[in-house]
Amino acid sequence: MEPYIHKVRYYECDRMGVTHHSNYVRMMEEARIDLLDRLGYGFERMEADGIVSPVIAIDVQYRKSTTFQDEVAISLKLLEMSALKFKFGYTMTVRGQVVCTAESTHCFLREGRPVSFAQCYPELAKKLQQD
């Protein structure tokens, strides 16, 4: 699947002119939302079904700075899936150079209780495992 593209905005940069580190986590969320939308299972659909997907762990490695107007290509891949959680891997590049790698782990809840993602969305689970 094609990477998600995020163009760095001026307000995302700090006084040194580089993208503030916290914005990479936001870019990761944008890429996840975009992926699920492209697969036909957007957050709106899940939330209408009563499912929420909180982040339970995150790990980010900053490799190179980005700046205003850089186009960050974010490739997203499912790394692990269990009955109650999954982990995504992210590779962010600018002009072919890796600027950041990261992982995020998520669970699924309905009314505050854990639910099996694969049981709720078997077609989506299969699509994610194919990529």
50-77 residue pLDDT tens: 999 999 999 999 999 999 999 999 999 9
| Residue 87, pLDDT score | 96
Residue type, 49: D
Residue 121 has pLDDT above 90, yes or no: no
Residue 127 has pLDDT above 90, yes or no: no
| Residue 118, pLDDT score | 85
> Which position has the higher pLDDT, 109 or 129?
109
Nearest in space to 68 (alpha carbons), one of 18, 24, 25: 18
Helical H segments across 39-86, by residue range:
43-48
Residue 111 is encoded by which pair of tokens? 């009314």
CATH 3.40.630.30 for the 4-126 domain, yes or no: no
Residue 94 has pLDDT above 90, yes or no: yes
Residue 26 is encoded by which pair of tokens? 């936001």
Q: What is the pTM of this model?
A: 0.91
4-58 residue pLDDT tens: 999 999 999 999 999 999 999 999 999 999 999 999 888 888 889 899 999 999 9
- How many CA atoms does the CB half-sphere of 33 hold within 13 Å? 13
In whole angstroms, give the CA distance from residue 91 to residue 79: 12
Residue 108 is encoded by which pair of tokens? 């699924």
- The CA-based diameter of the chain, rounded to the nearest angstrom, is 47
| Residue 131, pLDDT score | 63
Between vectors from CA 98 to CA 94 and to CA 104, what angle results, nearest 5°? Answer: 105
- Domain coordinates of the chain in residue numbers? 4-126
The model's confidence at residue 98, banded by pLDDT at 50, 70 and 90, is very high
